[in-house]
Chains A and B, each alone.
Chain A
């Protein structure tokens, strides 16, 4: 038998009475719960094998785990283990092996009892081993309990050791708990919780190991060295969880402009037209960006002011797409890929040419300011949309033509500002703030700023 196996056997000899006591106590606990909670929904949950296994594991954590090392410290056994060739490291490795094996065994045992109890009560097996909601709670409980086990190895042993360990564990985990905890507004994913639980398992093991192997290795002041070693390793181990929590918290209040889910919700241009405040949204995060409009004066588009309502248009086919009203009472209308001026009084329609001779596919035509198509258009800017592409264009009623801003892209456009030089500021696809110019292919992306 190798020395690790001998050390594990030593642990078994050292802890077997307590462990066997748990094995006897668990069925009694289940029996009491079944009797007390008969007919309640809580009992059904408790009898799920996954919940029962977690309860079994927690019983081992508190019944055996919290005494694995304090038991050695209470006597003179640490000195004995430390003076042997294998040293404290081998003793600790054996404790970890024993603890893991005991936890798995008792968890399986508890799950078996739950299955048996469920079969005995209803004659059927539970539908699910562990639901997703329960798994979250179980992972959190196990993560915190493991830190209580770890802290119990390095706090001063005594009557208040366990409460102290619980307080220390709570203190250690609190920054991460804000994120991973059940009331977190950040909604951690199940994968994140699993990673957190795994980190807790590794970190608590490393912390307990440092407290025992390095803290108790030699000399006086073992208690303070043990606390120091355990706490330092605990802080280092939990740092990734804290950092991730901080990252998530930061991300919850800041929008990543490169994220495909980012959308521009609102744009406000200040009085002198030199700066714009852009309200962005990404999930639950909202952030306002300030954009320098590079000195080109811009003004808010004004639409639909003091315009008389038009009479109801007539003589439209189902394929006609009626657009906004222009100041002389006629309407813009898209049909067959072209834009027309439509007079509802005479049903006369006149096709608009596209300046520069190029064509724009027009399945729909809107007022660029986003006002209702049925309201009059003060400013002669429209958005022509077709083939999943939108183009801003200025309407020249005298020349009967559309002058497109060929720099505009995207499938949706929203006009948010007008420049004095035929330029316009638009939001493309709800995520880019862009300045374009009618009669030109100029394109200046204001947000996200070019790197």
Chain B
């Protein structure tokens, strides 16, 4: 399979603990994959490895044919990443952040930026340190979507949103994600969110992708819960 993201035999140890063990994962173009798993399953570690923020102990990672460590500079411009907590400077406003990021991403779309800021009512002149977690999450999502990357990586990006706002945000994300020749990986604990946006779900357990299924083949959240429960036991 030739996916946008190809991971083979990935092993990562943190201290004495093996977090990922011979993990294989392929994210085909045009798909949104949700990565599920219990706490400590290695979801965020995998996200960091995909970003090039960690060095694997073994195995290969290719994103759009590029190695995150060797081709980091080029690849970082082709990944739209939202961390679980905003990692930008507290004194920055979303307007400051977009101004800071804009020259670094050649495909940055001011139209997408303006559209999403307006749609989600992102406060443009309030410092991140003073934003609520949901507001900050929306601001970070704009920063990940406006560059029109080849690979979207959302690490528990929707956790701080209240349910009503989250639906609107998810709708906006689904509308703006351009999946033609691209892929998205959403790391989350929220099964309903997975069912809502994913084409495929992958469940991490024991350092591997223990289960992988198309959402269409699953009946709903209950089936997904059973799937996660079965591999996590």
Contacts and interface: CB of A to CB of B under 8 A. Distances in A.
Interface of A: 1-3, 6, 10, 13-14, 75-77, 79-80, 82-87, 218-220
Contacts of A13: 89, 91-92, 96
Interface stretch (B2-10, B72-80, B172-180, B182-190): B72-80
Given A84-B104, A85-B77, A85-B104, A218 B53 contact: yes
B154 interface: no
Given A85-B73, A85-B76, A218-B69, A6 B100 contact: yes
Contact of A14 (B52, B53, B55, B89): B89
B219 interface: no
A6 B103 contact: yes
B165 to A, nearest CB: 24
Contacts of B85: 76
B91 A84 contact: no
Given A83-B76, A83-B81, A218-B53, A10 B103 contact: no
B11 to A, nearest CB: 14
Given A14-B89, A79-B53, A218-B69, A3 B104 contact: yes
A86 B104 contact: yes
19 contacts: A3-B103, A3-B104, A6-B99, A6-B100, A13-B91, A13-B92, A14-B89, A80-B89, A82-B53, A84-B101, A85-B74, A85-B105, A218-B53, A218-B54, A218-B55, A218-B69, A219-B53, A219-B54, A220-B14
Interface in B47-84: 48, 51-55, 69, 72-74, 76-77, 79, 81, 83
Nearest to B53: A218
Contacts of B216: none
Interface residues of B, number: 30
B231 interface: no
Contact of B89 (A1, A2, A77, A87): A77
B226 interface: no
A10 B100 contact: yes
Interface in B91-127: 91-92, 96, 99-101, 103-105
A84 to B, nearest CB: 6
A69 to B, nearest CB: 14
A3 B104 CA distance: 7
B87 interface: yes
Which of A1, A10, A87, A219 has the most C-beta atoms of chain B within 10 angstroms of its own C-beta?
A219
Contacts of A3: 103-104
Nearest to B56: A219
B139 to A, nearest CB: 13
Contacts of B170: none
A76 to B, nearest CB: 5
B218 interface: no
Contacts of A1: 103
A87 B72 contact: yes
Contacts of B73: 85, 87
Given A3-B104, A85-B76, A85-B77, A10 B53 contact: no
B88 interface: yes
Nearest to A218: B53
B28 to A, nearest CB: 24
A137 to B, nearest CB: 39
A219 B55 contact: yes
A79 B105 CA distance: 18
Given A79-B87, A83-B79, 18 more contacts: A3-B103, A6-B100, A10-B89, A14-B89, A75-B89, A77-B89, A79-B83, A80-B89, A82-B53, A84-B101, A84-B104, A85-B77, A85-B104, A85-B105, A87-B76, A218-B48, A218-B53, A220-B54
